[in-house]
């Protein structure tokens, strides 16, 4: 059914969809079943042995999840995907399939809060060392990467630091050390940026954000380009997977070794809701990026606003890289701005009316939060600063409402600061 000539806007709706197999419904059915029934012992045996494709049990694979996997593979231009119960589950699956005790990962330091905690607490406990470097400083990466490095990890746009690393240069650096580049592309979505085209090897998302777009389901996905060769002298535990699956070895390892056994599976209802959201991804993203640019411009001129951090502003240190990398699509839907003090931020947040105050991003609704006193409250000063979190910072995830209404709400709340 899928026509490879279709443009992204069409693929996002019709690509990798097989309505004939769904009794011709136009949305993928929700296979809400813990397990699947088989007619014969021979058949189930063949599926367990991997001789035949099939659905056994929801934690392993599920037809609704499978539909989203095929869609995400197509949209990122990869080879194969695994959907997961959350973005954090995707990061866990993606990296534990590569690393074991004694290994090193080099990661950008502008990280989603739970990713930071996963690396610094959980991975450390498992004997995996994650070295953090300034995400947009290529020299810092060069100094940290060595032949022991098993993977490089980076977010396309850090938040709320709003920094934009050079993905092509990081991919080249990774490959010079025979390591894969793993990119968390949540903030850009494949509409704005496709990391595989810039040399990345593995892409993952929290689908909770822009891909779902409605704040209605938590989820994640790991997508493999299939191009990275996990050489056996460096990655000896890939042996079985390479023998069994060739260039599908990585995704098979993610799935068979980590996903199934850690139980990081996605509820089929969540895949269904994510796919409903995906249908309108392009329209939403176009509006997100144009609204965010207008909000940034408005705040930048506001007398009570001390600074605005948005890659779309020419004065942003990330502007040149963002412009080159996102190829005119835009600069994302997120920004941060500074007020006089922490109290001023609290005054502002107390007074927003249309805008929601909550911990999420990428929703069609405009959202604000004061990260210093919320997500990052239990972090040391050093970690907060490395992540660009200061007491005067408000983060905005700009939604798709009428721009006039967003600006008016910002205006009336700022008046009360």
Ligand X SMILES: *Cc1c(COP(=O)(O)O)cnc(C)c1O
Please state the closest distance from residue 18 (CB atom) to ligand X, in A.
26
Please state the closest distance from residue 347 (CB atom) to ligand X, in A.
27
Q: Which residues contact ligand X by CB under 6 A?
A: 86-88, 112, 114-115, 155, 184, 186-187, 206, 208-209, 218, 220, 361
Complex with ligand X: residue 209 or 253, whichever CB lies closer: 209
Complex with ligand X: residue 11 or 186, whichever CB lies closer: 186
Complex with ligand X: residue 111 or 414, whichever CB lies closer: 111
Complex with ligand X: residue 126 or 359, whichever CB lies closer: 359
Residue least distant from ligand X (Cβ): 87
Complex with ligand X: residue 31 or 116, whichever CB lies closer: 116
DSSP collapsed to 3 states, the chain: CCCCCCCHHHHHHHCCCCHHHHCCCCCCCCCCCCECCCCCHHHHHHHHCCCCCCCCECCCCCHHHHHHHHHHHHHHCCCEEEEECCHHHHHHHHHHCCCCCCCEEEEECCCCHHHHHHHHHHHHHCCCEEEEECCCCHHHHHHHCCCCEEEEEEECCCCCCCCCCCHHHHHHHHHHCCCCEEEECCCCHHHHCCHHHHCCCEEEEECCCCCCCCCCCCCEEEEECCCCCCCCCCCHHHHHHHHHHHHHHHHHHHHHHHHHHHCCCCCHHHHHHHHHHHCCHHHHHHHHHHHHHHHHHHHHHCCCCCEEECCCCCCCCCHHHHHHHCCCCCCCCEEEEECCCHHHHHHHHHHCCCCEECCCCCCCCCEEECHHHCCCCCCCHHHHHHCCCCCCEEEEECCCCCHHHHHHHHHHHHHCC
Please state the closest distance from residue 86 (CB atom) to ligand X, in A.
3
Please state the closest distance from residue 385 (CB atom) to ligand X, in A.
19
Complex with ligand X: residue 111 or 417, whichever CB lies closer: 111
Complex with ligand X: residue 115 or 135, whichever CB lies closer: 115
Complex with ligand X: residue 305 or 318, whichever CB lies closer: 318
Please state the closest distance from residue 114 (CB atom) to ligand X, in A.
6
Please state the closest distance from residue 339 (CB atom) to ligand X, in A.
23
| 363 Cβ contact partners less than 8 Å away, ≥ 6 residues apart | 209, 213, 214, 215, 356, 397, 399
Please state the closest distance from residue 405 (CB atom) to ligand X, in A.
25
Please state the closest distance from residue 213 (CB atom) to ligand X, in A.
13
Sheet holding 149-155, edge to edge: 80-84, 220-224, 202-206, 181-184, 149-155, 104-108, 129-133
Please state the closest distance from residue 71 (CB atom) to ligand X, in A.
17
Complex with ligand X: residue 15 or 311, whichever CB lies closer: 311
């Amino acid at each position: 059914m899928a026509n490879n000539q279709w443009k992204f806007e069409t693929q996002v709706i019709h690509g990798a969809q097989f309505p004939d197999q769904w009794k011709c419904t136009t949305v993928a059915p929700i296979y809400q079943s813990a397990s699947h029934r088989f007619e014969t012992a021979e058949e189930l045996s063949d599926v367990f042995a991997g001789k035949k494709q099939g659905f056994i049990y929801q934690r392993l694979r599920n037809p609704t999840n499978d539909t989203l996997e095929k869609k995400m593979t197509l949209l990122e231009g990869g080879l194969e995907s695994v959907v997961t119960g959350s973005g954090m589950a995707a990061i866990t699956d993606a990296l534990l399939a590569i690393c074991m005790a004694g290994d090193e990962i080099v990661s950008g330091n502008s990280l989603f809060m739970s990713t930071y905690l996963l690396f610094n607490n959980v991975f450390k406990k498992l004997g995996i060392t994650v070295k953090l470097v300034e995400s947009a400083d290529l020299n810092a990466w060069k100094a940290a990467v060595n032949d022991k490095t098993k993977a490089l990890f980076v977010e396309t746009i850090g938040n709320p630091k709003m920094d934009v690393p050079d993905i092509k240069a990081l991919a080249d650096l990774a490959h010079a050390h025979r390591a894969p580049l793993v990119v968390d592309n949540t903030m850009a979505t494949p509409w704005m940026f496709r990391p595989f085209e810039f040399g990345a090897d593995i892409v993952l998302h929290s689908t909770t954000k822009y891909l779902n777009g409605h704040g209605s389901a938590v989820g994640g996905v790991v997508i493999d380009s299939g191009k990275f060769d996990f050489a056996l002298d460096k990655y000896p535990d890939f042996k079985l997977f390479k023998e069994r699956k060739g260039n599908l070895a990585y995704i098979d390892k993610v799935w068979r070794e980590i996903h199934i056994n850690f139980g990081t599976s996605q509820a089929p209802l969540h895949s269904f809701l994510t796919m409903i959201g995906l249908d309108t991804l392009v329209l939403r993203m176009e509006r997100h990026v144009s609204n965010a640019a207008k909000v940034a411009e408005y705040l930048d001129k506001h007398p009570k606003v001390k600074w605005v951090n948005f890659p779309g502003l020419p004065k942003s240190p990330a502007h040149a890289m963002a412009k080159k990398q996102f190829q005119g699509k835009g600069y994302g839907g997120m920004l941060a701005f500074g007020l006089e003090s922490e109290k001023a931020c609290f005054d502002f947040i107390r007074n927003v009316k249309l805008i929601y105050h909550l911990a999420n991003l990428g929703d069609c609704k405009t959202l604000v939060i004061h990260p210093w006193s919320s997500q990052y409250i239990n972090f040391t000063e050093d970690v907060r600063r490395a992540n660009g979190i200061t007491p005067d910072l408000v983060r905005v995830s700009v939604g798709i409402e009428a721009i006039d209404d967003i600006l008016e709400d910002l205006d009336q709340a700022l008046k009360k600061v």
